[in-house]
Amino acid sequence: MIFKGEMAKRDVGVVKIIVLFLLILLAGQGWGWLDQRQGVRTPEKTGIKPVAAPAVTFEPLGEGEKRELAAWRGKYVLLNFWGSWCLPCAVEFPALLRLAGDNQDRLALVAVSVDTNPADALAFLGRLRKQEGEAVDAANIYYASDPQETVVSGIFQSFRYPESILIDPDGRMIRKFTGPLTEDNIVYIEHVIDNTP
């Protein structure tokens, strides 16, 4: 039989454990809050190690020439995988165009369509051109086609669209974004670009 005094001691012990757990939880949140106040979490802050991007040659979407990924060395590259049938891709595209437009000298946008029929992707770009104007045809944007997904799935192991990979001027993949880019993702990309010597 448990007496009231023993129950009270046990209850105090349980309360102490709960309070200790809450303090640990709050301390963890506090450090996360502190880290957020220190600015954008760059690869250096997160401990993510850049990985060399594979040597890839892109087929043009429509007219144009094949381009090697290495052709953009010295600039950041945002490699974006999309499809004309993909609603999140369509929603994301204006933000991609603005990002490319705001960073023309420092960023190349390589937009790789996975449409099995390249004509569908070209029709999508035609509709986008009516909305966004000449931003669609900026000099730092290259549209590629990968209908068999040999590059997208075979080399970059991407299966969900849209998906983007940020590559630094040395040709190293430093961040992968699955799903449409958020405002925080765009802030991150601009922060990384702006803080490169």
pLDDT in tens, 137-177: 999 999 999 999 899 988 998 888 999 999 999 999 999 99
Sheet holding 67-68, edge to edge: 51-52, 172-178, 163-167, 76-82, 107-113, 141-145, 57-60, 67-68
Residue 13's pLDDT is what? 66
pTM for this entry = 0.76
Q: Measure the CA–CA gap between 157 and 168, rounded to whole angstroms.
A: 19
Beta bridge partners of 113: 82, 145
- What is the rounded distance in angstroms from the CA atom of residue 80 to the CA atom of residue 83? 10
CA–CA gap between residue 79 and residue 190 (Å, rounded): 15
Taking the C-alpha atoms of residue 69 and residue 136, their distance in angstroms, rounded to an integer, is: 20
- Of 140, 79, 64, the closest CA to residue 113 belongs to 79
The DSSP H or E segment spanning 51 is strand 51-52
Residue identified by tokens 């075979």 is 154
Q: Are 193 and 103 in contact (CB under 8 A)?
A: yes
- The predicted-structure confidence for 81-127, as pLDDT tens digits, reads as follows 999 999 999 999 999 999 999 999 999 999 999 999 999 999 999 99
**Beta-bridge partner residues of 174:** none
pLDDT digits (tens, 9 = 90+) for 15-60: 666 665 555 544 443 333 333 333 444 444 444 688 999 999 999 9
